[in-house]
Amino acid sequence: MFKYLFAKAEDIPAGSAAVYFGFSSIVWFVIGTGLGSFNAAKLAFPDFVMGSELLSFGHMRQVHVLAVILGWISMAFAMAMMYITPALGNTKLWSEKLGVWNCFLWNVGLSLGLFLLWLGVSSGREYSDLPWFIDIVVILGVLLPLGINVWMTIKTRRTQGIYTTNWFFGAATFMVIIVFTVGNSPEFFQLTGLTEAYLTWWFAHNVLGLWITPVAAAISYYVVPKVTGNPLYSHRIGHLHFWSVVVFYSTPAAHHLMSAPLPEWLKSFASVEGVLILVPAIAFVSNLLLTMTGKWRMFVENIEIKFTITGVLMAIPLNMQGGFQQTRAINWYIHGTGWIVAHAHLALLGFSTFLEAAAVYYGLQTLLRRKLYSLGLANFHFWMLLIGFTTYWVSMTIAGLIQGAGKIYEVPYIDVIIAEHPYMIARWVGGTMVFLGNCVWLYNMYKTAIAGTAIPEGRLPHELAYER
Amino acid sequence: MAFREYKIGARMFGLAFGTSMFITLYMPAVDIASVSATSIAMDRQLSFGRVGGFSYEDPFLLGWGKPITVQITKDPKTGAAIQSTRAFVYEADVPFPNGIRHPRILGTAPAAASDTKGRIGEADEASGAVFVVREVIEGGVTVPYIENVTATRGWTPSATLAKAADSQRLYVGKGKIMFVREGCWWCHTLLPEETQDWQYFGAPPMLGDFNGESPTAFGSDRKAPDLTHVGSRNSSREWMMMHFFNPRLVQPHSIMPRYDYLWGETDASGKAIDYDGWRSAYTAYANGETVYAPDVPVPAKDSEARALIDFVLNLK
C-alpha cells in the first residue's frame, strides 16, 4: 500500500484502493468484535481483568463502538463504493491514488482517534466521542476524499443513467459530511446544554439513517441483481426508497431523547415522523425479495446471496422495532434498556453487517480475480455470525424487557441486575461467537488472496464452482 | 455536463434535504435558545467549569483548570459570620463557564440581572473570580442570576479558599472530568425519565436546567441506577468510598467495576496503598475465610477518587 502513495497514478493497478479497504475493514471487524466480546465479559463478570484503568469497561466501550462503525462498517462501505461505483458507470475509479491515500489516512486517523479514546481523551458525547481535532481529520481525510472519488466517478461514468446504487452512494457520501460537520459542531463552536444534547443525538440518528442504512441497502441493490442475474424488480420502488429515506429518515432525531426535557412539539413530531421509516423499509425489502424470484436456491448455495438476503430479512424486524419503539406508547417501557442495545446490534451487526460482508466477499474475489478459498469456512463464518448475533439479540431483548418491567414497577435496581445476569452471560457467548467467526473470515480471505483459484478473464466469481 | 438529466433530481434533493434540516436543526435551535437558564443550570455550570470533556486546558482529562465548589460560613473579606453560602472559586487562569463567557445563553432576564446586579462583565480570568448564584424577584417573577462576588464584595479566590476547610470543599469540576473519562455515564444515566422515574430516581430535569453545560452526559444505555439525585438518596462519603474501591463490599451483586486505581499511589495519610495485599485479603473475605473485609484506604485530597466522590455526592 505504502509504495502506491507516491506512485504515478497510471502505475497503480485498478481496484487497489478497494482491496486495501476490504482487508482493512475485516481487520477492524476482528478488532471491534474482539473488544465487544471483552466488554461483554466484563458485564457478566465484573472482576474479569481488574485494577487497570486502560482495560476498564469505561475506557473500552466507546472504542468498540467506533471501531465497528468507523472501522468495519464505514470501511466496508468505502470498499464497496470503490468497486461498485465504477462498475456501474462502466468506467474506472476517478482517482485510484486518492483512494489509496483515503485508505491510508482513514486507518491512521482512526487508529489515532481510538487510541486517544482508549486513554480517555473523549468529548463525552455518545457516538461523537472523538475530540474535535480527530473529527476534522475524519471530515477532511476520510469522508471528503471518499465523497470526491464517488461523485467524480459518477460524473465521469460512461453510461447514460445512474443506477439506484449510485444515487444512494452519491447522496449518502454528501449527507454524511453534512451530518458529521453539523453533528460535531457543539465541539467546534462550544454549543452547550440541550442544544448539545440534541445535536449529539441528531448526529447519532442521522449517521445511521443517512449513512449506514442507505449505503448498506445500496450495496444489496447491486449484489442481488449482479449475482442472481435477475434485473432489479422495480426502479420505481427504488425511487420511493431513496426519496423516503431522505425525507423520513432525516427528521426524527429527537425520538432518541424522548424522556428528556426537549420541546414537546419536537418530540411529538419526531415520534410521528419516525413511524414513516416503514415506507423506505417496506420498499427496500419488497424490492429485493421480489428480485430474487426464481433464484431462491442461491439463498442456500451462494454465500454472497446468503449473506445479503439474511441481511435484507433482518431489515423487517429492525424497522418494525425502529418504527414503533420510539412512539411514546412503547418508548416509556423500553427507553434506555437492553432492548435498545439489542436493536442497535440488529441494525449494525444484523442488517448492515450481513450486507457489507456480502459486498466484501464478492468484491475481494472480483478484484483479486481469485475464487473464494473455502466455502466451508465461509459457511462457518455465516453461521457463527448468525447464531452469535441471534443469541446476543434474543438475550438482550429479554434483558431489556426485564429492565423495562423493573423500571415501571419500581423494583430495586439491584434485583434487575441479578435477573439480568444469565442474559449477560448469553450476550458474551454470542459476541464471542461473532468474534471467532470473523477470525476465520480473515483467514479465509487471506488464503483467497494468496491461494484462491484464478478466475479466468471474462468470468465472474460466482460462476465458478467452489473447491473447498 | 453528464449531470444535466439529473438537474431536477438534484434540486428536489436539495429541497427535501434542506427542508428536513430546517425542521430538525433550525427550528429546535431557535426554540431551545429562547429558554432561560434556571438556578440549577447556573449551579451546574459554575461547579463544572467550562468543559467536562476534552479541552485546551485539560487535554488528557486529568481535571486541570477546574473550579472548586466551597461552602463557607464566614465572609472571606471581613471575616464576619454569614449565612452558609455555596461559592464557586475560579483561581487565576481557570477558564470561566459558558454563562460567564457568553451571558446570552443564560436567557434575556438572567443575563441582564447577571450583568447589572451580578457584574459578571468585570470578572477577569487572568486574576480569577468567585461566583455565587442568587435570585431576584422582578415583576413577580423569580429571576436567577450569577453574582461575581469578587467585584461586588471583594471576595478574592485565595481569601475564599482560606475560609473553606477541606471538609467544606467539593472538587466537583475535576470530578465531572473523572465521570466522563472513566465512562461512568455508559451505565449510570444523568436523566430521570419523564415517565416512570419519579418515585425511584426523583424528579426529571426541566427545560432550562442545562444551559451552559457541556457535555450533558445524559447516558443512553442504563445498566445501573440513575445518578441525577443520588446525593439526596445517599449522602454517606464512607459508603461512596467503599463502593468505588470495590462495589461488592457494599452491594454483593453489583456488576460495577472496581475503581480502586483512582486512589493512586498513596492514601490520605501518605501511606503507599498495597493493592495486591488488599485484593488477596478481599478474596479471602469473599471466600468466607475471614470474617471482616479489609479496610478501604481513605483517598488523598488531590486524588482522582476524592474528586469523583465529591462529584457524586454533589448530585442532589
Amino acid, single-letter form, for residue B1: M
- pLDDT score of B3: 54
**DSSP string of chain B?**
-TTGGGHHHHHHHHHHHHHHHIIIIIHHHHHHHTPPPPHHHHHHHHHH-S-SSS-SS-TT-S-TT--EEEEEEE-TTT--EEEEEEEEEE-TTPPPPHHHH-GGGG-HHHHHHHHHTT-GGG--TTT-EEEEEEEEEETTEEEEEEEEHHHHT---HHHHHHT--GGGEE-HHHHHHHHHHTTGGGTB-S---TTT-HHHH-PPPPTTS-TT-S-----SS-SB---TTHHHH---HHHHHHHHH-GGGT-TT--PPP-GGGG-SBBTTSPBP-HHHHHHHHHHHHTTSSSSPPPPPPBPTTSHHHHHHHHHHT--
Tell me chain A's radius of gyration from C-alpha atoms.
22
Cβ <8 Å between A202 and B279: no
- Tell me which residue has cell 417496506: A282
**Which of B196, B206, B253 is best to mutate for the A interface (most A CBs within 10 A)?**
B196
Whether the predicted interface score ipTM is above 0.90: yes
| Nearest CA distance, B41 vs chain A (angstrom) | 9
pLDDT of A147 higher than 90: yes
Put simply, the answer to whether A192 touches B181 (Cβ < 8 Å) is no
Q: Chain B: residue nearest A197 by CA?
A: B216
pLDDT in 10s for each residue of chain B, 316 residues: 455 667 888 899 999 999 999 999 999 999 999 999 999 999 999 999 999 999 999 999 999 999 999 999 999 999 999 999 999 999 999 999 999 999 999 999 999 999 999 999 999 999 999 999 999 999 999 999 999 999 999 999 999 999 999 999 999 999 999 999 999 999 999 999 988 888 889 999 999 999 999 999 999 999 999 999 999 999 999 999 999 999 999 999 999 999 999 999 999 999 999 999 999 999 999 999 999 999 999 999 999 999 999 999 999 9
CA atoms of A139 and A460, how far apart (whole Å): 35
Q: In this complex, which of B19, B205, B257 lies closest to A50 when CB atoms are compared?
A: B257
CB contact under 8 A, A251 and B260: no
Asked if the model's pLDDT at residue A396 lies above 90, the reply is yes
First to last CA, chain A: 30
Phi-psi region of A429 (alpha: psi -120 to 50; beta: other; left: phi over 0): alpha
Residues of chain A positioned with their CB less than 8 A from the CB of B27: 266
- Burial code (b: 16+ CB inside 10 Å, e: under 16) for B277-316 equals ebbebbeebeeeeeeebbebbbbbeebbbbbbbbbbbbbe
Residue B1 is predicted with a pLDDT of 42
Q: Are the beta carbons of A264 and A328 closer than 8 angstroms?
A: no
Our CA-based measurement puts residue A45 at a distance from the nearest CA of chain B, in whole angstroms, of 7
What proportion of chain A, given as a percentage, has pLDDT over 70?
100
Q: Is A200 on the interface with B (CB under 8 A)?
A: yes
Q: What is the mean pLDDT of residues A415-438?
A: 97
Please, which residues 126-145 of chain A have a Cβ atom closer than 8 Å to chain B? 126, 131-132
Region A258-273: what's the mean pLDDT? 93
Does any CB of chain B come closer than 8 Å to the CB of residue A311? no
Which is nearest to A366 in space by CA: A447, A433, A461?
A461
Going by their DSSP bridges, the two strands B81-90 and B141-148 should be labelled as unpaired
What's the gap in Å between the CA of B140 and the closest CA on chain A?
Answer: 25
Find the mean pLDDT for residues A104-108: 97
**pLDDT value of position B4:** 61
pLDDT of residue A454: 95
- B151 Cβ contact partners less than 8 Å away, ≥ 6 residues apart: B119, B122, B123, B129
Domains of chain B, start order: 39-174 (no CATH), 178-313 (1.10.760.10)
Quote the percentage of chain A above a pLDDT of 90. Answer: 95
Which chain B positions have a beta carbon within 8 Å of A164's beta carbon?
none
Neighbours of A442 (CB within 10 A): 15
Contact A46 B105 (CB under 8 A): no
Q: In what order do the strands lie in the sheet with B81-90?
A: B141-148, B129-138, B81-90, B68-74, B169-170
pLDDT of the residue at B5: 65
Task: Count the Cβ atoms, other than its own, within 10 Å of residue A391.
Answer: 20
Q: Which of A124, A246, A403 sits opposite B180 (nearest CB)?
A: A124
Task: Show contacts of A303-306: CB within 8 Å, 24+ apart.
Answer: A303/A358, A303/A361, A303/A372, A303/A375, A303/A378, A303/A379, A303/A382, A304/A223, A304/A227, A304/A358, A304/A361, A304/A362, A304/A462, A305/A223, A305/A224, A305/A227, A305/A228, A305/A358, A306/A382
